[in-house]
Structure 1
């Protein structure tokens, strides 16, 4: 077990090791490794193995299956940010001839393109990729299962299309783009398309006997962008932190936040789970986790990060079935976040105060609903209801006395200060909603006007 930066409490470390040990023992898996990262620092790793005196560590490679999709999604978002494509572009615009070119890039990223979940038989995860040399071999004769954009339907062939899209736009293989644009900048030196020693071997454990069978390790060919990668607990923790904070060498914080936003409604009855752009989003113990799970024959993997808590966790195992690392990783996050809650940064005053902005703070009224406007760092503002039940949003400052909503109902909406001819403030306009200093004051810019008789009793 190793730790760095700020040590976790001994009771926390023992609880983490206990969770990993239970997963390996009760799950009957050859080995199991877990790791926790807090505020960007690897603070704990632990492992258990069926081999006496030997256990993997945070530098041992495991196959991570569909966590690969998140890497592929980052590459697509980079193309978008460079202006080389738009997420609303139909696939046909950049990758013609697929037969499903009417689906959009965003729909492919969010698994709402309506494509089939799997490639035609034989099962692509247990057969060589050379058996599917063309996209037509991956899509088959019945690629469409649902109308595009209507529902979430997980699709491995969809991410194969995204990998081919990256190659078409970049002009280089997917693996080469991955290395140059994500792995090298983030220093993920132990993440690769092919296994590199030390790495775990994949096993199937008999469901009714304590016996094992080695699983084949296939190169997935065109399907690689959907599940090819090998990685380590340490590398995946660093990648998880990137998914929380962004890195301008790879993808901005704003674009990563966009990936973490649900792209289509959740399935009926499954309101605690959604999918963003290459990322799974779940509610677990009243905590929002983002990341991805992964599986291929012989391996299971899970990666979750709680952005609010500043805690990420990874769990990896080398068995086809058994303890779900995604569940274990969520438990590792919970153990740390509950036992050692994030200590908030000290409150600090603004470095400078703009009197004109300061004059805007305080109470405002949308009709008779009271709101408070607060000035925060970098000339941003927060608007929150004075009573429960209203809409709270943060706004980032823009030019010309305007702000853009960052979250909630007003995300993307524009907040504008409207002034009278003499320069005094008349009201705030928020997406056509008028906020005045007093509720329904005579002479204020209230839509529909104010009754001339004013306020009255019964």
Structure 2
């Protein structure tokens, strides 16, 4: 991993104080934490009983394993072996969720039951998909009706990966994701030094050891163990250092929220194997994890170019630490943004400026990267989107309300998904759908 410039001593003190308080107040037997920027760990620390070097001791990742599984699935998609709209039946036949799509499973929109049938899979050894004996009762909601977190869904995605590659899921993610990223201390089962998973009694300061096992087909939902250094490398991956593992555009696709209005001031959503959160005006991507005996988190702020990673050996009781670490880092050492420099507009300047959707004023602006931005004059809320040029002279919506829609620019109007924007409100000289009352404004 690269060796980024370490944080300032005063920042290190603040981060350590934050971590120490979380360990004490959360009554966590062992806690390790770090912040990532510049491609690697800029600060790390451990509190409590950490059985080995702070950056090398393994903890269980829990559901962060889902993001690793999702990366393996998206690699298959990029190779043309599957599509996100493919029904599961095409790749893993014989399940009651066969009509649900790969994309729905990745974004927890497939309506699959939260857990697999049988014993509590997080605490008892698992077997093969056939041994799960899935039934119709594992379909609990209609497809794409609502977000419903499903461990079972990612167990099925792990099976999909294994069948396409002809090898166990663990071998595939090791060879295609973990090893290329240099994450040699991330494994399906613990390798020493590794923390013991523990539960802390709710009314006394005593602990109970939690079991560890092979979850079988459900491993893809929560099996992996990792060191802080490896988890920091994964944070760098989420910040864009994808290497040869995944195309940057695919990572961007995974981080697009599904099933929420992303223009709202605060929300929590899921992309394709990634949690996407909007907190205090900032967007974070990553994943949290929990298994009996462990809590984990890896989240990044791509605008700030920073991430935070945490690993703890407690079943419950510790609130997420990563938002506070990122807030402390941002307050103490805010990122210095790149300089603004003039750049040519991608359209004639006469095209830019105020346009009206009915009586509502919008502004069309040229923005960095050769893009156009169309947003209400009041600001980038509501029906706002950026657009990229296409070879035929039209523009493709990248985000917001008009994502995927086509913008066509004419001398006297803009045509956007049947909406016509005119230079004046309901310009009678422009092709306004439904026409304009001949009496005009009165």
Question: What TM-score, normalized to structure 2?
Answer: 0.89
Decide which of 379, 388, 394 is 1:396's aligned counterpart. Answer: 388
Query: Which segments of 5 or more consecutive residues in structure 2 lack a partner in the other structure?
Result: none
> Structure 1 stretch 365-374 or stretch 106-115: which is displaced more?
365-374
Q: Structure 1 residues 227 and 85 mapped into 2: Cα distance closer, same or farther (>3 Å)? A: same
Q: Tell me what 2:238 maps to.
A: 243
Check if 1:417 corresponds to 2:414: no
Runs of 4+ in 1 over 6 A off after TM superposition: none
C-alpha displacement at 1:31, in angstroms?
Answer: 1.2
d(CA) in 1 for partners of 2:258 and 2:292? 29
Q: Is 1:444 paired with 2:439?
A: no
Checking the alignment, whether the CA contact within 8 Å between 2:354 and 2:361 is kept in structure 1 is yes
- Could you tell me which of 64, 67, 73 is aligned with 2:64? 67
What SS is found at the alignment partner of 1:157?
A: helix
Question: Does structure 2 retain, via aligned residues, the 8 Å contact 1:77–1:255?
Answer: yes
- Distance between the aligned counterparts of 1:452 and 1:297, measured in 2? 71
Match of 2:354 in 1: 363
Distance 2:95 2:281 in 1: 42
1:42 lines up with 2:41 in the alignment: yes
Deviation at 1:292, TM superposition (A): 1.5
Decide whether the 8 Å contact of 1:30 with 1:49 is kept in 2.
Answer: yes
Residue by residue over 1:384-441, the C-alpha shift from the partner in whole angstroms, topping out at 9 and shown as x without a partner, is 33335663221112112111111111111111223xxxxxx34322222223334444
Is this contact kept in 2: 1:138–1:157, CA < 8 A?
no
* Secondary structure at the counterpart of residue 396 of structure 2: strand
SS of the residue corresponding to residue 184 of structure 2 reads: coil
Q: What's the secondary structure of 1:83's corresponding residue?
A: coil
Partner of 1:376: 367
Which ranges in structure 1 are unaligned for 5 or more consecutive residues? 419-424
Distance in 2, matches of 1:167 and 1:274, equals: 27
1:127 pairs with one of 124, 128, 131: 124
Deviation at 1:14, TM superposition (A): 1.6
Q: For the aligned residues, what is the CA RMSD?
A: 2.7
Q: 1:158 is matched with which residue?
A: 153
User: 1:78 corresponds to which residue?
Assistant: 75
Change (3 A) 1:228 1:435: same
Contact 1:304 1:333 in 2 (8 A): no
SS in 2 for 1:142: helix
* Residue 335 (1) aligns with residue 328 (2): yes
Query: Within 1, Cα distance between the matches of 2:4 and 2:285?
Result: 24
Q: Secondary structure at the match of 1:373?
A: strand
- More displaced, 223-232 or 212-221? 212-221
Distance verdict in 2 for CA 1:157–1:14, change over 3 Å? same
Of 194, 207, 221, the residue aligned with 2:202 is 207
Deviations 1:353-406 (A, max 9, x none): 66x544433333333333332223443212233335663221112112111111
Could you say which residue in structure 2 is the equivalent of 1:422? Answer: none
Tell me which of 106, 129, 141 is aligned to 1:146. 141
CA distance in 1, matches of 2:378, 2:94: 56
Structure 1 range deviating more: 224-233 or 118-127: 118-127
Separation of aligned partners in 1, 2:440 and 2:122: 73
SS of the residue corresponding to residue 14 of structure 1 reads: helix
Choose the corresponding residue for 1:319, options 311, 314, 318: 314
Counterpart in the other structure of 2:183:
188
Q: Is the 8 A contact 2:96 2:136 kept in 1?
A: no
Alignment pair present for 1:113 and 2:92 = no
The superposition leaves residues 133-184 of structure 1 with CA deviations (integer Å, 9 ceiling, x where unpaired) of: 3434263673222233222222222111111111122222212221222113
**Deviations, residues 37-56 of structure 1 (Å, cap 9, x unaligned):** 135342211111237xx764
Distance 1:138 1:309 in 2: 46
Cα deviation, residue 91, structure 1: 0.8
Q: Structure 1 residue 280 and structure 2 residue 279: aligned?
A: no
Which residue of 1 is the match for residue 400 of structure 2?
A: 408
With over 3 angstroms needed to count, the CA separation of the structure-2 counterparts of 1:248 and 1:449, relative to structure 1, is farther
Distance in 1 between residues matched to 2:439 and 2:117, nearest whole Å: 74
- Quote how far apart the aligned CAs of 1:73 are: 1.2
Q: Which residue of 2 aligns with 1:421?
A: none
Task: Name the SS for the 1:245 alignment partner.
Answer: coil
What is the aligned length?
436
Contact 2:4/2:39, CA 8 A, preserved across alignment? no
Q: Distance in 2 between matches of 1:449 and 1:112?
A: 41
Residue 146 to residue 433, structure 1, CA distance change in 2 (3 Å): closer
Distance 1:193 1:413 in 2: 43
Cα separation, partners in 2 of 1:274 and 1:453, compared to 1, 3 Å = closer
Residue 451 (structure 1) shift? 4.8
Kept in 1: contact 2:4–2:38 (CA 8 A): no
Q: What is the CA-CA distance between 1:63 and the residue it aligns to? A: 1.0
Alpha-carbon distance in structure 1 between the residues aligned to 2:165 and 2:107: 21
Bigger-Rg structure (1/2): 1
Aligned to 1:169: 164
The offset of 1:295, in angstroms, is 1.7
The Cα shift of 1:8 comes to 2.7
Look up the match of 1:18.
17
